[in-house]
Structure 1
Amino acid sequence: MTPPGSLPVLVVDDVPLIRAVVRSTLEQVGLTDVHEAADGGAALAMMNQRRYGLVIADWNMLPMTGYELLRRERDDPQLREMPFVIMTTKEQAHCFIAARRAGVNACLVKPFMPAALRETIQQVWSVHQTPAVPVHEAVNVLL
């Protein structure tokens, strides 16, 4: 199942160019309601104001990392159901284990091709739309 174009997506990265590339890729796959935040703190404030259908965040940001944002999102009963994708570099592949334990839906290794982002979104969306699948099994499938 492909997510609808009206699905609001929050892209969180401290590098404007990365945010622009992710936004462009999302728009290419028909997701046009894209919002951006430059760090985890700004993203958390935005998430408390609006429900996003997908959050895509970089691991390595200051002052709040994507991992910290994920932990706060999963600890908040109002936010924890938002699908969350974490982006990291190959050198940080060990981060996948920590993100998986924190409840991430998927991980993307940067740099990635647009097709990889598209496939990840489709996987997350299809798993998220299947409530019978326990979260831990869904995460195992995606990682």
Structure 2
Amino acid sequence: MWAYQKAGWMLVAIGVIHCVIGLILSWDIVAVWSEAGWWHSIESTDTMHMDRFAVLWFQVAGMGWIALGWLMQQWLQRFGSLPPALGWVLLATGLLVAYVLPISGAWLFIPLGVRVAMRPGAALKPV
């Protein structure tokens, strides 16, 4: 029951870890990007800096998970349970990413997704 009631905070933690690891692993890219002046420095007329693009979207994904986790906690406090479909999406995301990128944090989404999909007290009823 505890893991279910704290599922949003778990996703916030995953997002924070994602952002921190992303910054640590890409610090050299961030430094060059900073030297370029940030503004309009991912794409220019003849160059697309895919490394900077990847770092940007890595951080955007982490911030998205932080926001979704916070929203999940607010939802839990207000309604007491999360939509099971959210759990299935988290599970599918974890399975897909873990399959194509096994050395990653995607594995964290699998138990979280299962926990959200199979909410406490929900009996499995035959169709």
Query: TM-score category by the smaller chain?
Result: under 0.3
Greater strand percent: which structure?
1
Structure number with bigger Rg: 2
Q: Which has the higher helix share?
A: 2
